[in-house]
Amino acid sequence: MKKNLLLLLFLIFLFACTKEPASTVITPVTPPVTDTTPAQYGTPFVNVPDRQDAVIYQVNMRVFSQQANFKGVIARLDSIKALGVNVIYLMPIYPVGSVKSVNSPYCVKNYTAVNTEFGNLEDLRSLVDSAHSRNMCVILDWVANHTAWDNSWITSHKDWYLQVDGNIVSPPGMGWNDVAQLNFANATMRLQMIWAMKYWVFTANVDGFRCDYADGPPQDFWKQAIDTLRHISTHKLLILAEGSRSAHFLAGFDYIFGFNYYGLLKSIYSSNASALGINNMNNSEYVNATNGQQVVRYTTNHDVNGSDGTPLTLFGGRNGSMAAFVVTACMKGVPMIYNGQEVGTPYKLVFPFTGKKIDWTLNPDILAEYKKILLFRSTSAAMRRGQLSSFGNADIVAFTKELAGEKVLVISNLRNSVVNLALPSPLQSTVWTNAMTGESLTMATELVLQPYSYLIAKQ
C-alpha cells in the first residue's frame, strides 16, 4: 500500500511538471537593480560652498578649448578660479548615441561611461582633483528624462520606457526625436537611474548634478533620488534643477533655473518692459524655497546662446550686457556664467554641434569687469545673503542689501538713455565707497545715470 501511494504521488508530480498549462508559466523577472556601492575614489571635497555662496560656471567642452576635451578644461582652471567661480558645471560627459542622432550630448548612450571624445575616466578624475585643489567643486549634467535610442536599456529593459501600442516613443510633444522617453512608473528603472547618479559621486568624486529638463520626470522621482543622494554622508552635494517648478524646492533641490527671470530681462531690453517686474520675480520664483534654496540666474547658457543670441546681441552690447549682468549677479539668487561670456564672445557658440571655439584673448576689459563684480560678491556677505530692499523704477534696478552691519548699494540703468533716479530719503547725504574703483561717494537727492551705467557701492 505504501509503495503504491508513493508511486501514485510520483506520477502526479511527473504529470504536473510536464503538463503545466501555459497560463501558469512564470515569465522571467527583471534582474535586480545594481545595488553595490562603488569604491570611493579620492577624498570627498570638504569645501563645497553653501547654497547662497555659489558662483556657477558652465563648461561646454566642445567649444571651450582647441582640444575640446577634459585636458583643455584643466589647462584653464586657474583662469576660471580667477574669475571668482567656485562651482564648475560640466555639460554631459557620457557617450552620445548614434541612432537617430543629432550629436547632442543630451542623448546618453551609457550613464556610467565617459565619452572618449572628451577623454577617459582618469582624465575626468584629474579635472575633478585639479578643481578641488583650487577650492572649486564640480557638478555633472544629468539627463534623467530620456536616453539615446541605442542605450542598452532599450533592448534589455524595454519596460523601462514609455510605449504607445507597444513601441517606445520620444518625449511626447517635445520634438526630441533623437531620444527615447523613460517610464517613471517603473520602480526598477528609477533605482537603476539613482544608482548611476551615485556611481559618479563615488567613482569620480563629483560634488553634485545639474539635472536636465527637471520638469519632465515626476516630482516623486526627484524626491526619491535626492533623498538617496543626501544619505551619502561623506559628501556635501549641490543639486540644481533645470526647471522652474517651485515644487522642485520641496523635492530637495538646492536650486531651480531662472527661466522666467531671463525671459523678463529680455523683454526689458527688447520690448521696453518695466524693470519693476524683477521685484515681482524675486517673490514668484522663490515660492516654497527654504533654508537658503536659490534661483540660478543667467544672461546666457548653451541653449539660449544658440537660439537667442549672445548677451552682447540681446542686452545692448558691451555696456548693456554688463548692466544686465550686475543685476543678475547681485540682486537675488546665484549667478551662472556660460563659458566665453566673460570675454564678450561676439558669436554664437553653436550647440549641439562642434563649431567655432572661444577666443580667450578677446576683450580683456570685459573680463576685468566680470572679475571685479564677482570678487566683490564673493567677499561681501551682505551681497550674497543680505536683506534686500528695492527702490528702483521702470528703467532702473536699484536696491540695498544689509547683513550684520554691512550694507551694499546697487544701481543699474537698463536703458540706452540717460535716466534720473530719485533716492529715498534714508539714502540722501549718505557716504559710500565705490566697490569697483574705491572712490568715495556722497549721495544727493537724485542720481543722473548715463545709458547702461551701473554703480556698486558699500558702507
Contact 315, 299 (CB under 8 A): yes
Query: Which has the closest alpha carbon to 95: 81, 108, 77?
Result: 108
Query: Which DSSP letter does residue 65 get?
Result: S
How many Cβ atoms are within 10 Å of 101's Cβ, its own excluded?
16
Q: 181 by DSSP, 3-state: which?
A: strand
Cell of 279: 521685484
Is 8 among the domain residues? no
Return contacts of 387-395, CB within 8 angstroms, 24+ apart: 388/282, 388/331, 388/332, 390/279, 390/282, 391/423, 391/424, 391/427, 392/275, 392/276, 392/279, 392/421, 393/275, 393/276, 393/419, 393/421, 394/274, 394/275, 394/276, 395/275, 395/419
- Contact 77/136 with Cβ under 8 angstroms? yes
CATH of the domain at 404: 2.60.40.1180
Looking at the structure, tell me whether residues 338 and 435 fall in a common domain: no
> Which residues lie below 8 Å from residue 187, measured CB to CB, with a gap of 6+?
none
Give me the amino acid identity at 266.
K
Residue 237 is assigned to a structural domain of this protein? yes
The count of C-alpha atoms lying within 13 angstroms of the C-alpha of 93, restricted to the half-sphere facing its C-beta, is 30
Looking at this protein, which amino acid is placed at residue 243? G
Q: Is 156 exposed, middle or buried (0-12, 13-18, 19+ CB in 10 A)?
A: exposed
Same domain, 402 and 364: no
- DSSP for 354-377 reads --PPP-TTS-HHHHHHHHHHHHHH
426 and 362 both lie in a single domain:
no
Is 4 within the bounds of a domain?
no
- Verify that 237 and 373 share a domain, yes or no: yes
In a domain? residue 443? yes
Q: What is the pLDDT of residues 82-130, one digit of tens each?
A: 999 999 999 999 999 999 999 999 999 999 999 999 999 999 999 999 9
List for the chain the helix, strand, coil content (%; round to 5). Answer: 35, 20, 45
Question: Each residue of 371-421: pLDDT tens digit?
Answer: 999 999 999 999 999 999 999 999 999 999 999 999 999 999 999 999 999
Q: Indicate if 156 and 276 belong to the same structural domain.
A: yes
Q: Are 312 and 440 in a shared domain?
A: no
Q: Is residue 14 part of a domain?
A: no
The answer to whether 214 and 241 have CB atoms below 8 angstroms apart is yes
Is 77 in the same domain as 207? yes
Farthest CA pair distance, the chain: 116
Mean pLDDT by 10 residues, the chain (459 residues): 38 35 35 76 98 98 96 98 98 98 97 98 98 98 98 98 98 97 98 98 98 98 98 98 95 98 98 98 97 98 96 98 98 98 96 86 98 97 98 98 97 98 97 97 96 98
Location of C-alpha cell 559710500: 432
Residue 61 belongs to domain with CATH number:
3.20.20.80
Residues 6 or more apart whose Cβ sits within 8 Å of residue 384: 52, 53, 377, 378
Helix (H), strand (E) at residue 413? strand 406-413
Backbone region of residue 68 per phi and psi (left: phi > 0; alpha: psi in -120 to 50; beta: other values): left
Report yes or no on 85 lying in a domain: yes
The alpha carbon of 377 is separated from its chain's Cα centroid by a whole number of angstroms, namely 20
d(CA 376, CA 383): 8
Residue 338 falls inside a structural domain: yes
Are 327 and 214 part of one and the same domain? yes
pLDDT at position 353 is: 76
Answer whether residue 164 is part of any domain. Answer: yes
Q: What does the alpha-carbon distance between residue 401 and residue 410 come to, in Å, rounded to a whole number? A: 9
**Whether 344 and 439 share a structural domain:** no
How far CA 104 is from CA of 170, 339, 432, in Å, comes to: 15, 18, 49
Fill in the amino acid letter for 277: G
Of the candidates 84, 213, 64, 193, which has an alpha carbon nearest to the alpha carbon of residue 127? Answer: 64
Containing domain of residue 412, as a range?
Answer: 396-458
- Domain end point (choices 359, 384, 409): 384
Rg (CA), the chain: 27
Strand 146-148 to 137-142 pairing: unpaired
Pick the last residue of a domain from 384, 406, 438: 384
Position 17 scores a pLDDT of 39
Same domain, 245 and 283: yes
Domain stop point among 361, 384, 407: 384
Residues 6 or more apart whose CB falls under 8 angstroms from that of 351 comprise 60, 302, 303, 305, 306
- Is residue 302 located within the same domain as residue 417? no
Does 124 lie in the same domain as 147? yes
How many separate domains does the chain show? Answer: 2
